[in-house]
Amino acid sequence: MTDGAGQRGLAIDIKGLSKAFGRTRVLHNLDLEVPWGEVLTILGPNGSGKTTLIKVLATLTRPDEGEVRVAGANIARLGQRTRRITGVVTHDPLLYDELTGYENLKFVCRMFGLDRIDDRIASVSEELGVTARLSQKTGALSHGLRKRFSIARALLHEPSILLMDEPDSGLDQEALAMLDTVITDRTGPTKTVVMTTHNLERGLALGQRLAILAGGAIAFEESVRSSSGAAALRKAYFHHTGARV
Protein backbone atom coordinates (compact mmCIF):
# COMPACT_ATOMS: atom_id res chain seq x y z
CA MET A 1 0.00 0.00 0.00
CA THR A 2 2.17 2.71 -1.28
CA ASP A 3 -0.03 5.55 -2.32
CA GLY A 4 -3.44 7.19 -2.42
CA ALA A 5 -6.04 4.47 -2.31
CA GLY A 6 -3.95 2.09 -0.24
CA GLN A 7 -3.48 4.64 2.52
CA ARG A 8 -7.24 5.11 2.63
CA GLY A 9 -7.48 1.39 3.25
CA LEU A 10 -8.95 0.33 -0.06
CA ALA A 11 -8.15 -3.06 -1.46
CA ILE A 12 -9.72 -2.18 -4.81
CA ASP A 13 -10.38 1.30 -6.15
CA ILE A 14 -11.89 1.70 -9.62
CA LYS A 15 -12.63 5.08 -11.16
CA GLY A 16 -14.28 5.63 -14.53
CA LEU A 17 -13.53 2.17 -15.90
CA SER A 18 -14.68 1.59 -19.46
CA LYS A 19 -14.06 -1.40 -21.67
CA ALA A 20 -15.44 -2.30 -25.10
CA PHE A 21 -14.87 -5.25 -27.38
CA GLY A 22 -15.21 -3.89 -30.89
CA ARG A 23 -18.47 -1.97 -30.94
CA THR A 24 -19.84 -3.77 -27.91
CA ARG A 25 -19.52 -1.60 -24.82
CA VAL A 26 -19.20 -3.91 -21.83
CA LEU A 27 -18.19 -1.61 -18.98
CA HIS A 28 -18.97 2.10 -18.99
CA ASN A 29 -17.62 4.63 -16.51
CA LEU A 30 -17.72 2.12 -13.67
CA ASP A 31 -16.74 3.26 -10.18
CA LEU A 32 -16.20 0.78 -7.37
CA GLU A 33 -14.46 0.84 -4.00
CA VAL A 34 -13.79 -2.30 -1.99
CA PRO A 35 -12.21 -1.85 1.45
CA TRP A 36 -9.85 -4.37 2.99
CA GLY A 37 -11.58 -7.12 4.90
CA GLU A 38 -14.74 -7.05 2.82
CA VAL A 39 -16.44 -9.81 0.86
CA LEU A 40 -18.17 -8.17 -2.10
CA THR A 41 -20.65 -10.15 -4.14
CA ILE A 42 -21.42 -8.88 -7.63
CA LEU A 43 -24.69 -9.92 -9.20
CA GLY A 44 -25.74 -9.32 -12.77
CA PRO A 45 -27.40 -10.98 -15.72
CA ASN A 46 -25.39 -12.76 -18.44
CA GLY A 47 -23.46 -10.23 -20.50
CA SER A 48 -23.55 -7.55 -17.84
CA GLY A 49 -19.75 -7.37 -17.65
CA LYS A 50 -19.03 -9.37 -14.47
CA THR A 51 -16.39 -11.53 -16.13
CA THR A 52 -14.82 -8.54 -17.88
CA LEU A 53 -14.58 -6.71 -14.56
CA ILE A 54 -12.84 -9.69 -12.94
CA LYS A 55 -10.52 -9.97 -15.96
CA VAL A 56 -9.57 -6.30 -15.71
CA LEU A 57 -8.82 -6.66 -11.99
CA ALA A 58 -6.78 -9.79 -12.73
CA THR A 59 -4.75 -7.88 -15.39
CA LEU A 60 -5.95 -10.26 -18.10
CA THR A 61 -7.68 -7.45 -19.99
CA ARG A 62 -6.54 -3.86 -20.44
CA PRO A 63 -9.10 -1.16 -19.62
CA ASP A 64 -9.89 1.31 -22.40
CA GLU A 65 -10.40 4.17 -19.95
CA GLY A 66 -10.28 4.77 -16.24
CA GLU A 67 -7.97 3.98 -13.39
CA VAL A 68 -7.87 0.69 -11.51
CA ARG A 69 -5.90 0.37 -8.28
CA VAL A 70 -5.42 -2.90 -6.47
CA ALA A 71 -3.84 -2.58 -3.00
CA GLY A 72 -2.95 0.98 -3.93
CA ALA A 73 -1.04 0.03 -7.06
CA ASN A 74 -2.18 1.15 -10.49
CA ILE A 75 -2.55 -2.17 -12.32
CA ALA A 76 -1.61 -0.61 -15.67
CA ARG A 77 1.86 0.12 -14.30
CA LEU A 78 2.28 -2.50 -11.57
CA GLY A 79 0.63 -5.56 -13.05
CA GLN A 80 3.25 -7.97 -11.74
CA ARG A 81 2.73 -6.76 -8.16
CA THR A 82 -1.03 -7.03 -8.58
CA ARG A 83 -0.79 -10.61 -9.80
CA ARG A 84 1.41 -11.58 -6.87
CA ILE A 85 -1.26 -10.59 -4.31
CA THR A 86 -4.39 -11.70 -6.16
CA GLY A 87 -5.77 -15.19 -6.56
CA VAL A 88 -8.13 -15.65 -9.48
CA VAL A 89 -10.82 -18.24 -10.16
CA THR A 90 -12.22 -17.96 -13.68
CA HIS A 91 -15.01 -19.75 -15.55
CA ASP A 92 -12.43 -22.08 -17.07
CA PRO A 93 -10.51 -24.29 -14.65
CA LEU A 94 -7.14 -23.36 -16.25
CA LEU A 95 -5.88 -26.94 -15.97
CA TYR A 96 -3.94 -29.11 -18.40
CA ASP A 97 -5.97 -32.27 -19.00
CA GLU A 98 -2.93 -34.49 -19.57
CA LEU A 99 -1.28 -33.49 -16.30
CA THR A 100 -2.29 -34.85 -12.91
CA GLY A 101 -3.81 -32.61 -10.26
CA TYR A 102 -0.47 -32.57 -8.44
CA GLU A 103 1.46 -31.64 -11.58
CA ASN A 104 -1.00 -28.86 -12.41
CA LEU A 105 -0.65 -27.37 -8.93
CA LYS A 106 3.13 -27.82 -9.00
CA PHE A 107 3.26 -25.96 -12.31
CA VAL A 108 1.38 -23.02 -10.78
CA CYS A 109 3.79 -22.99 -7.82
CA ARG A 110 6.74 -22.95 -10.21
CA MET A 111 5.20 -20.14 -12.31
CA PHE A 112 4.84 -18.09 -9.13
CA GLY A 113 8.34 -19.00 -7.95
CA LEU A 114 6.99 -20.36 -4.64
CA ASP A 115 8.91 -22.32 -2.04
CA ARG A 116 7.62 -25.27 0.06
CA ILE A 117 5.72 -26.54 -2.97
CA ASP A 118 4.67 -29.90 -1.52
CA ASP A 119 3.48 -28.32 1.73
CA ARG A 120 1.38 -25.77 -0.12
CA ILE A 121 -0.14 -28.40 -2.41
CA ALA A 122 -0.93 -30.66 0.55
CA SER A 123 -2.54 -27.78 2.44
CA VAL A 124 -4.83 -26.47 -0.33
CA SER A 125 -5.69 -29.99 -1.51
CA GLU A 126 -6.85 -30.89 1.96
CA GLU A 127 -8.85 -27.66 2.23
CA LEU A 128 -10.61 -28.35 -1.08
CA GLY A 129 -10.96 -32.09 -0.49
CA VAL A 130 -8.95 -33.18 -3.53
CA THR A 131 -6.01 -34.91 -1.82
CA ALA A 132 -7.16 -38.33 -3.03
CA ARG A 133 -7.37 -37.02 -6.61
CA LEU A 134 -3.90 -35.49 -6.82
CA SER A 135 -2.47 -38.40 -8.81
CA GLN A 136 -5.29 -38.45 -11.37
CA LYS A 137 -5.13 -36.62 -14.69
CA THR A 138 -7.43 -33.61 -14.45
CA GLY A 139 -8.92 -34.40 -17.88
CA ALA A 140 -10.46 -37.50 -16.33
CA LEU A 141 -12.11 -35.61 -13.45
CA SER A 142 -15.68 -34.37 -13.21
CA HIS A 143 -16.55 -30.69 -13.70
CA GLY A 144 -16.97 -30.21 -9.95
CA LEU A 145 -13.58 -31.72 -9.10
CA ARG A 146 -11.88 -29.67 -11.80
CA LYS A 147 -13.50 -26.59 -10.30
CA ARG A 148 -12.10 -27.54 -6.90
CA PHE A 149 -8.61 -27.81 -8.42
CA SER A 150 -9.23 -24.47 -10.10
CA ILE A 151 -9.96 -22.89 -6.70
CA ALA A 152 -6.94 -24.70 -5.20
CA ARG A 153 -4.61 -23.22 -7.83
CA ALA A 154 -5.81 -19.72 -6.93
CA LEU A 155 -4.98 -20.24 -3.24
CA LEU A 156 -1.46 -21.67 -3.57
CA HIS A 157 0.36 -18.34 -3.22
CA GLU A 158 -1.83 -17.23 -0.27
CA PRO A 159 -3.25 -14.16 -1.99
CA SER A 160 -4.53 -11.14 -0.07
CA ILE A 161 -7.26 -10.52 -2.62
CA LEU A 162 -9.37 -13.30 -4.05
CA LEU A 163 -11.23 -12.66 -7.32
CA MET A 164 -13.77 -15.35 -8.11
CA ASP A 165 -15.93 -15.48 -11.20
CA GLU A 166 -18.95 -17.67 -10.45
CA PRO A 167 -16.94 -20.06 -8.28
CA ASP A 168 -20.10 -21.90 -7.19
CA SER A 169 -21.11 -23.06 -10.67
CA GLY A 170 -21.04 -26.83 -11.01
CA LEU A 171 -20.20 -27.54 -7.36
CA ASP A 172 -22.08 -30.11 -5.31
CA GLN A 173 -23.30 -29.40 -1.75
CA GLU A 174 -20.11 -30.69 -0.13
CA ALA A 175 -17.95 -28.57 -2.40
CA LEU A 176 -20.17 -25.53 -1.83
CA ALA A 177 -19.65 -25.92 1.91
CA MET A 178 -15.88 -26.07 1.29
CA LEU A 179 -16.10 -22.95 -0.87
CA ASP A 180 -17.96 -21.17 1.93
CA THR A 181 -15.14 -22.14 4.32
CA VAL A 182 -12.50 -20.96 1.85
CA ILE A 183 -14.18 -17.56 1.61
CA THR A 184 -14.87 -17.27 5.34
CA ASP A 185 -11.26 -18.22 6.19
CA ARG A 186 -10.06 -15.51 3.85
CA THR A 187 -12.04 -12.76 5.47
CA GLY A 188 -10.08 -10.47 7.74
CA PRO A 189 -8.50 -7.04 7.96
CA THR A 190 -5.84 -7.87 5.36
CA LYS A 191 -7.97 -10.03 3.08
CA THR A 192 -10.61 -9.17 0.53
CA VAL A 193 -12.83 -11.32 -1.64
CA VAL A 194 -14.69 -10.19 -4.75
CA MET A 195 -16.96 -12.81 -6.25
CA THR A 196 -19.60 -12.89 -8.92
CA THR A 197 -22.56 -15.22 -8.73
CA HIS A 198 -26.05 -15.87 -10.03
CA ASN A 199 -27.08 -17.32 -6.69
CA LEU A 200 -28.71 -14.56 -4.64
CA GLU A 201 -29.02 -16.62 -1.45
CA ARG A 202 -25.32 -17.54 -1.58
CA GLY A 203 -24.43 -13.90 -2.22
CA LEU A 204 -26.43 -12.86 0.83
CA ALA A 205 -24.98 -15.63 2.97
CA LEU A 206 -21.32 -15.01 2.12
CA GLY A 207 -21.10 -11.39 1.05
CA GLN A 208 -20.84 -8.40 3.34
CA ARG A 209 -21.90 -6.12 0.52
CA LEU A 210 -23.85 -6.80 -2.64
CA ALA A 211 -23.55 -4.91 -5.91
CA ILE A 212 -25.69 -5.26 -9.02
CA LEU A 213 -23.92 -4.72 -12.33
CA ALA A 214 -26.18 -3.44 -15.10
CA GLY A 215 -25.57 -1.33 -18.19
CA GLY A 216 -21.82 -1.64 -17.71
CA ALA A 217 -21.80 0.07 -14.30
CA ILE A 218 -22.71 -0.60 -10.68
CA ALA A 219 -26.44 0.13 -10.63
CA PHE A 220 -27.13 -0.81 -7.02
CA GLU A 221 -25.07 -1.39 -3.89
CA GLU A 222 -26.18 -2.49 -0.46
CA SER A 223 -24.61 -3.74 2.71
CA VAL A 224 -25.90 -7.19 3.63
CA ARG A 225 -26.47 -6.00 7.21
CA SER A 226 -28.82 -3.27 6.05
CA SER A 227 -30.39 -5.47 3.37
CA SER A 228 -34.06 -6.13 3.72
CA GLY A 229 -33.51 -9.70 2.57
CA ALA A 230 -33.57 -11.83 -0.53
CA ALA A 231 -37.08 -10.83 -1.61
CA ALA A 232 -36.28 -7.11 -1.56
CA LEU A 233 -32.97 -7.68 -3.29
CA ARG A 234 -34.65 -9.81 -5.94
CA LYS A 235 -37.02 -6.90 -6.56
CA ALA A 236 -34.11 -4.46 -6.82
CA TYR A 237 -32.34 -6.83 -9.20
CA PHE A 238 -35.40 -6.98 -11.46
CA HIS A 239 -35.79 -3.21 -11.27
CA HIS A 240 -32.20 -2.53 -12.39
CA THR A 241 -31.64 -5.34 -14.86
CA GLY A 242 -35.08 -6.29 -16.09
CA ALA A 243 -34.08 -9.91 -15.44
CA ARG A 244 -35.00 -12.36 -12.73
CA VAL A 245 -32.53 -14.03 -10.39
Partner 1 sequence: MNSVLTPILALLWKDILLETRTKDIVVSVMVFSLLVIVVFNFAIEPTPTLVALVAPGVLWVAIVFGGVLGMTRSFALEKDGENLHGLMLAPGSRDGIFFGKMLSNTLFMLLVEAIVFPIFTVLFGLSLAEPELVLVAFMATVGISTVGTVFSAMAVNTRAREVMLPLLFFPVAIPVIVGAVEATGFVLRDADLGETVQWVLLLAAFDAIFLVVCPFAFHLVIEE
Closest to partner 1 by CB, 66 vs 207, is: 66
Q: How many CB atoms lie within 10 A of CB 95?
A: 24
Q: Please give the residues from 138 up to 177 whose contact with partner 1 meets the rule CB under 8 A.
A: 153
| 234 scored as a contact of partner 1 (CB under 8 A) | no
Decide if 193 contacts 162 (C-beta within 8 A).
yes
Please give the single-letter amino acid code of residue 127: E
Q: Which of residues 70-89 bind partner 1 (CB under 8 A)?
A: 80-81, 83-84, 88
Query: What's the closest the beta carbon of residue 235 comes to partner 1, in angstroms?
Result: 35
Helix (H/G/I), strand (E/B), else coil: 220: strand
Distance CA 28, CA 131 (A): 43
User: Binding segment for partner 1 among 60-68, 176-184, 202-210, 236-244 (CB under 8 A)?
Assistant: 60-68
Q: Nearest to residue 126, comparing CAs of 143, 103, 151? A: 151
Question: Which positions from 29 through 48 interact with partner 1, judged by CB under 8 A?
Answer: none
Question: Are 106 and 121 within 8 A, CB to CB?
Answer: yes
Least distance (Å) from partner 1 to the CB of residue 226? 35
Q: Give me the residues that bind partner 1 (CB under 8 A), please.
A: 21, 55, 58-62, 80-81, 83-84, 88, 90, 92-99, 103, 107-108, 110-113, 153
